[in-house]
Amino acid sequence: MFNVLIVDDSPLVRSILRDFLEDSGEFKVVAEAENGREGLEKIAVLNPDLITMDIDMPVMNGLDAVEEIRKSFTTPVVVISTQDTAKAAYEATARGAVEFYSKDIFTAAMPEDKKARILDSLVHIAGTKGKLPVLRDGKFSFDESPPALSRRPSGTGPQRPLRAPRKSAADRKAEAVVIGVSTGGPRALCSIFGALRRDFPLPLILVQHNSSGFDRGFVQWLRGYTALEVRLAGEGERPVPGRVHIAPTDRHLLVGKNGAFSFDDGPPVNNQKPAVDLLFKSAADYYGAALISLVLTGMGRDGAAGTRAVRDAGGLTMAQDERSSMIYGMPRAARETGCVDMVVGLEAIPRQLLLLAGR
């Protein structure tokens, strides 16, 4: 059982979250705090496994509290806030929060399947305690590595390419990039998109796992970190170079046979909706060898089957390396398929994308 600290200035919200967590049998709420400062004091004494954090609070708000926590503790923080603080919730993830949810979804009307997905995610997040980076001199203590061909994980023998490259960047005519990301994604995406110019010659099509319903807030927030155009993907739209097309919440995003976006309202895949696998597979069907795929930080296996589909179609596949991933679940699963061409550290991904795009 995981010990939880709830930080929120509303007694009602604290009560709702306590019931939600403890009714699962997986969590025990060991303390509550009314503001970020009180939360910091209780973390130092209680050493919880998981912290839930509101944004708008007196004395010390959630943004400042998250940043202070990340300087001294490796305890995961999950932001639970309201729609009107959506941009701030994403900013909290850039400062070190692991995940975020809308308070609005924590009601008696929450569907059981969604409740199960959130609880499963929180269990996995609580299990990352002690494995998260700390904030030093304004930067997280990730050990970046330069771009390299896919390598064996450390401890499994000499490092060598798992697959020989099929085409050089100069010989490859790329037409689109598909990206899948989950926990830790907002920070990683800031780093990547912030380093790309508005004239990037390829469309970037993104599935960011998102149970919060904050998809429009995500778009607005991400626009503040990049010169690229950022927007939610629309039914019937075609991918545009220099534009980040983001899958809306609770619908699977597909690339149709005509190259235009479509949506699938079917059940979750890999416990996710939207699912990375469905985007990658549909894009591979359309773009074939002209597709680049990238799996970034996140929990679970979503994106692994999609990576295989891209590879089988002749596309080039990439995954974030372990040292720069907040959660090395999805990239690991992609690598385990044996279909990842390149494993790249976070800071080197923009340069690698530019190379593959012919820049």
Number of H helices, E strands in the chain: 11, 17
182 included as an active-site residue = yes
Q: Which of 8, 302, 321, 341 is catalytic?
A: 302
Q: Which of 9, 209, 293, 324 is catalytic?
A: 209
Tokens linked to 176: 């689109």
SS3 173: coil
Identity of residue 115? K
User: Alpha-carbon distance 240 to 198, whole Å?
Assistant: 12
Q: At 152, phi and psi to the nearest 5? A: -70, 145
302 included as an active-site residue = yes
Q: What angle do CA 78, 82, 85 make, to 5 degrees?
A: 90
Cis geometry, peptide bond prior to residue 274 (ω within 30 degrees of 0)? yes
Parallel, antiparallel or unpaired: strands 139-140 and 135-136: antiparallel
24 included as an active-site residue = no
Burial state string for 76-102 with b = 16 or more CB within 10 A and e = fewer than 16: bbbbbbbeebbbbbbbbbbbbbbbbbb
Q: Which of 81, 182, 324, 325 is catalytic?
A: 182
Q: Is 321 exposed, middle or buried (0-12, 13-18, 19+ CB in 10 A)?
A: buried
SS3 130: coil
Tokens 């385990």, residue? 336
- What residues are annotated to the active site? 182, 209, 302
